[in-house]
Amino acid sequence: MRVKEIAALTVGDVYSATGEVKSFVALTAEQTKDRQGRTIVLNTKLKDSLQSYLRTSKLKLHETSKPLLRSQKGSAFSANSLCQLFARLYSAAGIEGATSHSGRRTFITNLAHKGVSAKVLMTLAGHKHMSTTQRYIDVNDAMLAQAVELA
């Protein structure tokens, strides 16, 4: 997801009324970059993390329109402030040069190298054009060496 989309998530987007994490998150046009709604698929690991987050946070399930992620003041993060938080987290982890977009790039690159089809990658990324998705896929020397050994 884009940082703008993460910042825009609400409690009701992610959790059912009974507190279960949804498998699919429907983003509205207002939440997305290109103003076209799309569906995000959550994997098991993320669902487990979101279940833990619910247990340890002060979220109330009946407050479905409240922000999922809240600042210290209890308000929603702006996309910019969430970008800054990502930068601080990456820096604290000793990861240099990473941005809020790095997770998207890594996600798409990892799936591409596992053989996921280009159309699926494009859909997961929310891109309109395959050329945009292709720019996200990084290649390194180890990958090139592994590829030529397949011949």
Q: Taking 90 as the threshold, does the pLDDT of residue 143 lie above it?
A: no
Confidence of residue 142 (pLDDT cuts 50, 70, 90): confident
Q: Taking 90 as the threshold, does the pLDDT of residue 33 lie above it?
A: no
Each residue's pLDDT tens digit, 44-95: 999 999 999 999 998 999 999 999 999 888 899 999 999 999 999 999 999 9
Q: Taking 90 as the threshold, does the pLDDT of residue 146 lie above it?
A: no
Q: So what's the pLDDT on residue 77?
A: 94
Confidence of residue 149 (pLDDT cuts 50, 70, 90): very high
Each residue's pLDDT tens digit, 106-138: 999 999 988 899 999 999 999 999 999 999 998
Q: So what's the pLDDT on residue 151?
A: 83
The long-range contacts involving 31-34, CB below 8 angstroms and separated by at least 24 positions, are 31/4, 31/5, 32/2, 32/4, 32/5, 32/126, 33/2, 33/4, 33/5, 33/126, 34/126, 34/128
